[in-house]
Structure 1
Amino acid sequence: MTVNHSGILSVDYFEAYFKLVILSRNYDIVQVNEFMTQNFFKGDLLIYGKETYHSFVTAYQNLKNNSK
């Protein structure tokens, strides 16, 4: 997925991205978080701004809560 630096990415965006990575790479929740941190955020969680990072964290928490 292409990401521009001009907009805030939503919780829905990250939920869809998480599901895509989980299905395509057969990752668990911890692995998908590590993958996103390294490959999407390039190791800098604030690279796309605080609001986008907050959406990422919220989507991750939603995913963890729904997998229980």
Structure 2
Amino acid sequence: MVVNHASTLSVEYFIQYLELVIKSRQITLKEAEQYMRDQFFKGNPHLYGESTASRFKQAIKHIEKKENENERN
């Protein structure tokens, strides 16, 4: 996937990306998070800027919340 360094990626972008990684690799959110840090961010969480890094973290929190709600139901 090509990423334009000039744009800030959205929370929704990262939610979709993380969910795709989780489903396609059949891994946990924590494993997907590490995969993204290694592969997408190439070990540098601020590679695409502070805003993009922040939105990545927000996406993780969103998925965690969704998973917790699903566990309760």
Tell me how many residue pairs correspond in the alignment.
68
Distance 1:2 1:55 in 2: 18
Return the offset for 1:6: 1.1
Q: Indicate the structure (1 or 2) with the bigger Cα radius of gyration.
A: 2
Q: What TM-score does the superposition give when structure 1 sets the normalisation length?
A: 0.96
Unaligned segments of structure 2, at least 5 residues: 69-73
By relative contact order (CA 8 Å, sep 6+), the higher-ranking structure is: 1
Identity of aligned residues (%): 37
Q: What TM-score does the superposition give when structure 2 sets the normalisation length?
A: 0.90
**CA RMSD, Structure 1 to Structure 2 (Å):** 0.6
Unaligned segments of structure 1, at least 5 residues: none
The runs of at least 4 aligned residues of structure 1 exceeding 2 Å deviation read none
